Amino acid sequence: MKKLFTHQIRHALAIAAIAAMSALPLRADGDSVIVLAKDGTSYTAKIADVKRIDLGADALVISTNGDVSTTYQYSDVDRILIGADADGIEDITSGGNIAIWPTVVTDNLNIAGAEAGTPVKVYGINGSLVAAGTTAEGTLSLDLSSAPAGVCIVNVGTKTVKIIKK
Protein backbone atom coordinates (compact mmCIF):
# COMPACT_ATOMS: atom_id res chain seq x y z
CA MET A 1 0.00 0.00 0.00
CA LYS A 2 2.81 2.41 0.93
CA LYS A 3 4.56 1.70 -2.38
CA LEU A 4 1.37 2.44 -4.33
CA PHE A 5 0.84 5.67 -2.38
CA THR A 6 4.47 6.75 -2.96
CA HIS A 7 4.11 5.97 -6.66
CA GLN A 8 0.93 8.07 -6.85
CA ILE A 9 2.60 11.02 -5.12
CA ARG A 10 5.64 10.76 -7.40
CA HIS A 11 3.39 10.60 -10.46
CA ALA A 12 1.40 13.65 -9.33
CA LEU A 13 4.61 15.60 -8.64
CA ALA A 14 5.97 14.71 -12.06
CA ILE A 15 2.81 15.89 -13.80
CA ALA A 16 2.76 19.12 -11.77
CA ALA A 17 6.44 19.79 -12.47
CA ILE A 18 6.07 19.21 -16.20
CA ALA A 19 2.92 21.33 -16.39
CA ALA A 20 4.43 24.17 -14.38
CA MET A 21 7.69 24.24 -16.29
CA SER A 22 6.05 24.02 -19.71
CA ALA A 23 3.30 26.54 -19.00
CA LEU A 24 5.52 29.26 -17.62
CA PRO A 25 7.42 31.73 -19.74
CA LEU A 26 10.96 31.56 -18.37
CA ARG A 27 12.38 34.75 -16.94
CA ALA A 28 16.06 34.52 -16.12
CA ASP A 29 15.64 37.18 -13.44
CA GLY A 30 13.13 35.51 -11.14
CA ASP A 31 11.59 32.14 -11.98
CA SER A 32 13.05 29.48 -9.72
CA VAL A 33 12.64 26.01 -8.34
CA ILE A 34 12.37 26.25 -4.56
CA VAL A 35 12.32 23.23 -2.24
CA LEU A 36 11.05 23.94 1.26
CA ALA A 37 12.08 21.27 3.74
CA LYS A 38 10.04 20.37 6.81
CA ASP A 39 12.91 21.56 9.02
CA GLY A 40 12.51 25.10 7.65
CA THR A 41 15.51 25.10 5.32
CA SER A 42 15.15 25.85 1.64
CA TYR A 43 16.98 25.28 -1.64
CA THR A 44 16.61 27.67 -4.58
CA ALA A 45 17.82 27.33 -8.17
CA LYS A 46 16.89 29.46 -11.19
CA ILE A 47 14.84 27.42 -13.68
CA ALA A 48 17.33 28.39 -16.39
CA ASP A 49 20.07 26.65 -14.34
CA VAL A 50 18.07 23.44 -13.70
CA LYS A 51 19.19 20.67 -16.00
CA ARG A 52 16.93 17.94 -14.66
CA ILE A 53 14.44 17.09 -11.92
CA ASP A 54 14.29 13.37 -11.14
CA LEU A 55 11.47 11.92 -9.09
CA GLY A 56 12.88 8.65 -7.77
CA ALA A 57 11.28 6.00 -5.63
CA ASP A 58 12.13 7.71 -2.33
CA ALA A 59 13.75 11.00 -3.24
CA LEU A 60 13.68 14.09 -5.43
CA VAL A 61 16.96 14.97 -7.19
CA ILE A 62 17.56 18.39 -8.74
CA SER A 63 20.54 18.58 -11.11
CA THR A 64 21.86 21.93 -12.28
CA ASN A 65 23.77 22.85 -15.43
CA GLY A 66 27.00 22.84 -13.39
CA ASP A 67 26.51 19.08 -12.79
CA VAL A 68 25.69 19.64 -9.13
CA SER A 69 22.90 17.42 -7.78
CA THR A 70 20.89 17.98 -4.63
CA THR A 71 18.80 15.13 -3.20
CA TYR A 72 15.76 15.43 -0.91
CA GLN A 73 13.95 12.51 0.67
CA TYR A 74 10.20 12.91 0.12
CA SER A 75 9.66 12.53 3.85
CA ASP A 76 11.78 15.69 4.40
CA VAL A 77 10.03 17.88 1.79
CA ASP A 78 7.18 20.18 2.74
CA ARG A 79 6.70 21.91 -0.63
CA ILE A 80 8.24 22.26 -4.05
CA LEU A 81 7.60 25.58 -5.78
CA ILE A 82 8.26 25.57 -9.52
CA GLY A 83 8.27 28.88 -11.35
CA ALA A 84 8.30 30.86 -8.12
CA ASP A 85 9.87 34.26 -7.80
CA ALA A 86 12.92 33.71 -5.58
CA ASP A 87 12.29 37.10 -3.94
CA GLY A 88 8.86 35.76 -2.89
CA ILE A 89 10.53 33.42 -0.40
CA GLU A 90 10.22 36.29 2.09
CA ASP A 91 6.48 35.61 2.06
CA ILE A 92 7.22 32.11 3.33
CA THR A 93 10.15 32.72 5.65
CA SER A 94 10.42 35.62 8.02
CA GLY A 95 14.15 36.10 7.68
CA GLY A 96 17.14 34.20 8.92
CA ASN A 97 16.45 30.50 9.19
CA ILE A 98 12.91 30.80 10.56
CA ALA A 99 10.28 29.33 8.27
CA ILE A 100 6.53 29.84 8.63
CA TRP A 101 4.19 27.87 6.35
CA PRO A 102 1.74 27.62 4.73
CA THR A 103 1.03 31.29 4.07
CA VAL A 104 -2.59 30.39 3.31
CA VAL A 105 -3.62 28.10 6.16
CA THR A 106 -6.73 26.03 6.72
CA ASP A 107 -5.79 23.97 9.77
CA ASN A 108 -2.18 23.88 11.00
CA LEU A 109 0.47 26.59 10.83
CA ASN A 110 4.07 25.34 10.99
CA ILE A 111 7.05 27.21 12.42
CA ALA A 112 10.61 25.89 12.20
CA GLY A 113 14.11 27.22 12.69
CA ALA A 114 13.52 29.41 15.75
CA GLU A 115 15.51 28.85 18.93
CA ALA A 116 13.82 26.60 21.47
CA GLY A 117 11.75 28.65 23.88
CA THR A 118 10.89 31.39 21.37
CA PRO A 119 7.34 32.66 21.90
CA VAL A 120 4.96 32.42 18.91
CA LYS A 121 1.77 34.48 18.79
CA VAL A 122 -0.85 34.66 16.04
CA TYR A 123 -3.09 37.73 15.98
CA GLY A 124 -6.24 38.38 14.00
CA ILE A 125 -6.47 41.55 11.95
CA ASN A 126 -8.46 43.14 14.78
CA GLY A 127 -5.55 42.56 17.18
CA SER A 128 -7.08 39.66 19.10
CA LEU A 129 -4.83 36.74 20.02
CA VAL A 130 -5.85 33.75 17.86
CA ALA A 131 -3.19 31.21 18.94
CA ALA A 132 0.03 31.05 20.91
CA GLY A 133 2.80 28.61 21.60
CA THR A 134 6.47 28.24 22.38
CA THR A 135 8.97 26.67 20.03
CA ALA A 136 10.86 23.57 20.99
CA GLU A 137 13.40 21.67 18.96
CA GLY A 138 11.99 20.86 15.52
CA THR A 139 8.78 22.17 14.03
CA LEU A 140 6.00 23.76 16.05
CA SER A 141 2.54 23.18 14.63
CA LEU A 142 -0.25 25.49 15.79
CA ASP A 143 -3.88 24.48 15.26
CA LEU A 144 -5.71 27.37 13.60
CA SER A 145 -8.74 25.35 12.48
CA SER A 146 -11.08 27.22 14.83
CA ALA A 147 -9.59 30.66 14.11
CA PRO A 148 -11.75 33.07 12.11
CA ALA A 149 -11.01 33.46 8.39
CA GLY A 150 -8.98 36.45 7.31
CA VAL A 151 -5.56 38.02 7.56
CA CYS A 152 -3.45 37.07 10.58
CA ILE A 153 -0.12 38.37 11.85
CA VAL A 154 2.37 35.79 13.14
CA ASN A 155 5.07 36.91 15.60
CA VAL A 156 7.97 34.54 16.17
CA GLY A 157 10.28 36.25 18.63
CA THR A 158 11.11 39.53 16.86
CA LYS A 159 10.07 38.30 13.38
CA THR A 160 6.66 39.08 11.89
CA VAL A 161 4.87 37.50 8.91
CA LYS A 162 1.39 37.96 7.45
CA ILE A 163 -0.67 34.84 6.66
CA ILE A 164 -4.21 34.23 5.49
CA LYS A 165 -6.54 31.93 7.41
CA LYS A 166 -9.17 30.31 5.18
Q: Which residues pair with 50 in a beta bridge?
A: 64
Confidence of residue 8 (pLDDT cuts 50, 70, 90): low
Cβ contacts of 104 within 8 Å, gap of 6 or more: 163, 164, 166
pLDDT in tens, 78-137: 777 776 665 544 445 444 567 888 888 889 998 888 888 999 999 998 889 999 999 987
Tally the C-alpha atoms within 13 A of residue 16's C-alpha that lie toward its C-beta.
Answer: 13
Q: Which helix (H) or strand (E) holds 19?
A: helix 2-23
Q: Which CATH architecture has domain 99-165?
A: Sandwich (2.60)
Q: Which CATH architecture has domain 2-89?
A: Roll (2.30)
Same fold for the pair 2-89 and 99-165: no
Q: What is the SS3 assignment for 91?
A: helix
pLDDT above 50: residue 20: no
Check the CA dihedral 112-113-118-120 and report its sign.
negative
